[in-house]
């Protein structure tokens, strides 16, 4: 069976507007044609013109500058025209969209062997089907020259070796259909997800390739179950943080002032004995270190309380954290757990007034100054927070290491609003303690009341100043007459404050403040007056001035 293709139509494929007069008759088989046909004389011109008009043609790379391999290009045109017709393309060879050699085991290997054809693979080809041809050997990599193809079927062959997955995914980038099923490729697991995404497993049935389903499955499982589990875990973890260790949360999520038992436990090394600084039946006071590095004093009460009591406690603490004065220890927060209540305040490194009085026998001026500061704090509380009560025992007033300011350290919100009488009374006791350096709660059988009574007796029964002086802390007696007068005056003030018999006599806080300030100021005036200083105070005067100028 002889069939003929005119060279005109052959070249039409490359450059449609070109008309060539001469015509060549093709013989039956591609092999014969390749052996017998020669390029026409003007073939070089035609090709050069083709390339001028369509430089993207693959063979044009070999054309310029006239180093063109004309015989090879001619052979290519012969194979192309045969292959186009074999593939039953309707309009050979102007359009050549597919290479269809399905079920053609006799000729498919032959066409695959024409390397020069594949090298110049026509740009029009979009589909290559080489299925069911008993192809042997490695993957036919020449196909990658046709980098524009969109479909490739190599199924039902006996191909072996590695599948060039890299080139499949990187070179033939427009590939949308691939079938490698029923081959004997080397077993590898495909885990190139980009490649897998485009083709599902039916592209690789019995091909030797194993789409890495395990990995895929694991991913799917992770997504399906892992993610929710992860989320649940995160939520649980966050809840745990919220309830137990909110100090690990970002600051905006933390509830200000609120401490959990776990936080306090962490701050005190598990409420260790080392951190315990004071202890009574219900109250344990610890020194703690918070996560932010600040040291705190933690007053803990270990007892079960009712819900009502708990609510009151929280309300109370909400007030306490708002107190802010330079002579009050700053309360930073609280803990209201069912079994553990705690008040957390700043840690003051130093001593309390009781220790101060007994150890260092402070001069009168310093005592007055301390009283002045305490009264300032009391006035602040009276004006701003009349419901807040406080403890004025010498053991509860703290002096930081620098001894600059005295600090009231223990408060509570009292039921009776503004019970000023009691507070003034306590202040009176404190004033008397400051002057006498006695410990009413230890030295007197009936405590403070007994102490006050004792002072009052000695003060009023002795009309002579000298005997009143016997009440005054002995260690201050070397002081001047002026200071002794002041101390005596202070006793009078203390007695006035503690006089509960007739309300009229108890001075107001403002009055007390005025009196103490006057005491202090007169002292300063005396020490500042140079004549008197030299006469009366000697060295001490200089020291006072130094303290003042600080």
Binding site for ligand NAG (CB under 6 A): 3, 5, 26, 41, 44-45, 48, 66, 85, 88, 103, 132, 134, 136, 141, 144, 147-148, 155-156, 158, 160, 164, 167, 171, 173-174, 177, 179, 181-182, 184, 200, 202-203, 205
Rounded to a whole number of angstroms, the minimum distance from the CB of residue 85 to ligand NAG is 4
Taking a C-beta distance cutoff of 8 angstroms, is the pair 494, 511 a contact?
no
Report the candidate in 452, 494, 284, 461 with the shortest Cα–Cα distance to residue 368: 494
Burial class (CB in 10 A: 0-12, 13-18, 19+), 382: middle
If the CB atoms of residues 88 and 194 are measured against ligand NAG, the closer one turns out to be 88
If the CB atoms of residues 83 and 432 are measured against ligand NAG, the closer one turns out to be 83
Rounded to a whole number of angstroms, the minimum distance from the CB of residue 130 to ligand NAG is 12
Taking a C-beta distance cutoff of 8 angstroms, is the pair 345, 267 a contact?
no
If the CB atoms of residues 205 and 249 are measured against ligand NAG, the closer one turns out to be 205
If the CB atoms of residues 144 and 380 are measured against ligand NAG, the closer one turns out to be 144
If the CB atoms of residues 173 and 531 are measured against ligand NAG, the closer one turns out to be 173
Q: Which residues contact 39 (CB under 8 A, 6 or more apart)?
A: 70, 71, 74
Taking a C-beta distance cutoff of 8 angstroms, is the pair 115, 88 a contact?
no
Q: Which residues contact 345 (CB under 8 A, 6 or more apart)?
A: 296, 297, 299, 329, 330, 331, 332, 409
Residues, the chain, total?
550
* Beta strands, E only, 353-507: 388-390, 397-400, 407-408, 411-413
If the CB atoms of residues 65 and 293 are measured against ligand NAG, the closer one turns out to be 65
Rounded to a whole number of angstroms, the minimum distance from the CB of residue 181 to ligand NAG is 4
Rounded to a whole number of angstroms, the minimum distance from the CB of residue 161 to ligand NAG is 9
Cα separation, 428 vs 509, whole angstroms: 11
If the CB atoms of residues 144 and 451 are measured against ligand NAG, the closer one turns out to be 144
Burial 158-170 (b: 16+ CB within 10 A, else e): ebbeebeeeebbe
Q: Is the peptide bond before 189 cis (omega within 30 degrees of 0)?
A: no
| Site of tokens 């006071």 | 285
Rounded to a whole number of angstroms, the minimum distance from the CB of residue 185 to ligand NAG is 10
Rounded to a whole number of angstroms, the minimum distance from the CB of residue 65 to ligand NAG is 11
Rounded to a whole number of angstroms, the minimum distance from the CB of residue 290 to ligand NAG is 59
Q: What is the DSSP letter of 536?
A: I
Rounded to a whole number of angstroms, the minimum distance from the CB of residue 191 to ligand NAG is 18
| Site of tokens 């005295």 | 406
DSSP helix, strand, coil percent of the chain (3-state; round to 5)? 50, 15, 35
Phi, psi of 184 (to 5 degrees): -125, 45
Query: In the numeric block, which tokens belong to residue 520?
Result: 């202090």
Q: Which residues contact 50 (CB under 8 A, 6 or more apart)?
A: 11, 14, 15, 18, 57, 60
Identify the bridge partners of residue 158 per DSSP, sorted by sequence position: 136
Cα separation, 36 vs 132, whole angstroms: 31
Q: Output the CA–CA distances (angstroms, integers) from residue 168 to 112, 161, 180, in the order listed.
A: 18, 15, 12
Cα separation, 23 vs 25, whole angstroms: 7
Report the candidate in 470, 466, 465 with the shortest Cα–Cα distance to residue 454: 470
| Alpha-carbon dihedral angle through residues 25, 27, 31, 36, given to the nearest 10 degrees | -50
Rounded to a whole number of angstroms, the minimum distance from the CB of residue 19 to ligand NAG is 18
If the CB atoms of residues 198 and 214 are measured against ligand NAG, the closer one turns out to be 198
| E strand or H helix at 44 | helix 43-53
Rounded to a whole number of angstroms, the minimum distance from the CB of residue 335 to ligand NAG is 60
Rounded to a whole number of angstroms, the minimum distance from the CB of residue 220 to ligand NAG is 14
If the CB atoms of residues 196 and 296 are measured against ligand NAG, the closer one turns out to be 196
If the CB atoms of residues 85 and 458 are measured against ligand NAG, the closer one turns out to be 85
If the CB atoms of residues 26 and 286 are measured against ligand NAG, the closer one turns out to be 26
If the CB atoms of residues 72 and 414 are measured against ligand NAG, the closer one turns out to be 72
If the CB atoms of residues 91 and 508 are measured against ligand NAG, the closer one turns out to be 91
Rounded to a whole number of angstroms, the minimum distance from the CB of residue 17 to ligand NAG is 19
What SS3 state is found at 436?
helix
| Site of tokens 């020194």 | 287
Cα separation, 240 vs 290, whole angstroms: 19
Cα separation, 362 vs 21, whole angstroms: 129
Rounded to a whole number of angstroms, the minimum distance from the CB of residue 218 to ligand NAG is 19
Rounded to a whole number of angstroms, the minimum distance from the CB of residue 86 to ligand NAG is 7
If the CB atoms of residues 41 and 530 are measured against ligand NAG, the closer one turns out to be 41
């Amino acid at each position: 069976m002889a069939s003929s293709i005119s060279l005109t139509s052959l070249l039409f494929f490359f450059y449609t507007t070109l008309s060539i007069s001469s015509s060549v008759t093709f013989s039956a088989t591609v092999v014969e044609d390749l052996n017998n046909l020669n390029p026409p004389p003007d073939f070089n011109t035609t090709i050069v013109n083709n390339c001028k008009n369509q430089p993207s043609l693959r063979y044009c790379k070999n054309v310029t500058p006239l180093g063109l391999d004309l015989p090879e290009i001619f052979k290519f045109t012969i194979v192309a025209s045969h292959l186009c017709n074999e593939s039953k393309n309707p309009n050979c060879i102007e359009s050549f969209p597919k290479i269809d050699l399905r079920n053609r085991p006799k000729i498919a290997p032959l066409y695959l062997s024409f390397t020069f054809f594949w090298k110049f693979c026509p740009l029009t080809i979009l589909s290559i089907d080489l299925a069911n041809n008993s192809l042997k050997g490695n993957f036919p990599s020449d196909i990658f020259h046709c980098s524009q193809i969109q479909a490739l079927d190599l199924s039902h062959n006996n191909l072996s070796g590695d599948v060039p997955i890299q080139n499949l995914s990187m070179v033939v980038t427009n590939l949308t259909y691939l079938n490698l099923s029923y081959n004997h490729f080397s077993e590898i697991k495909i885990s190139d997800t980009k490649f897998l995404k485009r083709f599902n497993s039916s592209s690789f049935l019995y091909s030797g390739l194993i789409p890495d389903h395990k990995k895929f499955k694991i991913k799917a499982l992770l997504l399906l179950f892992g993610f929710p589990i992860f989320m649940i875990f995160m939520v649980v973890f966050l809840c745990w943080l919220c309830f137990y260790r909110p100090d690990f949360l970002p600051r905006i999520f933390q509830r200000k002032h609120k401490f959990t038992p776990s936080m306090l436990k962490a701050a005190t090394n598990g409420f260790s004995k080392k951190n315990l600084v004071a202890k009574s039946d219900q109250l344990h006071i610890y020194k703690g270190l918070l996560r932010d590095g600040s040291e705190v004093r933690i007053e803990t009460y270990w007892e079960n309380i009712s819900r009502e009591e708990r609510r009151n406690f929280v309300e109370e603490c909400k007030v306490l954290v708002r107190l802010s004065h330079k002579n009050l220890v700053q309360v930073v927060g609280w803990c209201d757990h069912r079994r553990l209540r705690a008040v957390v305040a700043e840690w003051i490194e130093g001593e309390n007034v009781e220790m101060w009085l007994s150890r260092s026998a402070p001069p009168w001026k310093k005592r007055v100054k301390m009283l002045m500061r305490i009264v300032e704090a009391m006035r602040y509380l009276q004006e701003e927070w009349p419901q807040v009560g406080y403890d004025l025992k010498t053991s509860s007033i703290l002096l930081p290491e620098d001894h600059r300011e005295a600090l009231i350290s223990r408060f509570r919100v009292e039921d009776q609003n503004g019970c000023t009488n009691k507070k003034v009374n306590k202040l009176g006791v404190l004033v008397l303690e400051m002057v006498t350096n006695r410990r009413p709660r230890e030295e007197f059988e009936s405590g403070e009341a007994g102490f006050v009574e004792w002072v009052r007796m000695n003060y009023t029964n002795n009309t002579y100043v000298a005997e009143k002086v016997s009440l005054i802390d002995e260690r201050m007696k070397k002081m001047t007459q002026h200071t002794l007068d002041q101390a005596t005056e202070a006793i009078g003030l203390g007695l006035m404050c503690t006089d509960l018999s007739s309300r009229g006599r108890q001075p107001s806080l403002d009055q007390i403040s005025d009196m103490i300030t006057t005491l202090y100021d007169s002292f300063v005036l005396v020490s500042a007056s140079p004549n008197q200083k030299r006469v009366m105070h000697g060295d001490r005067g200089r020291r006072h001035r130094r303290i003042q100028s600080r």
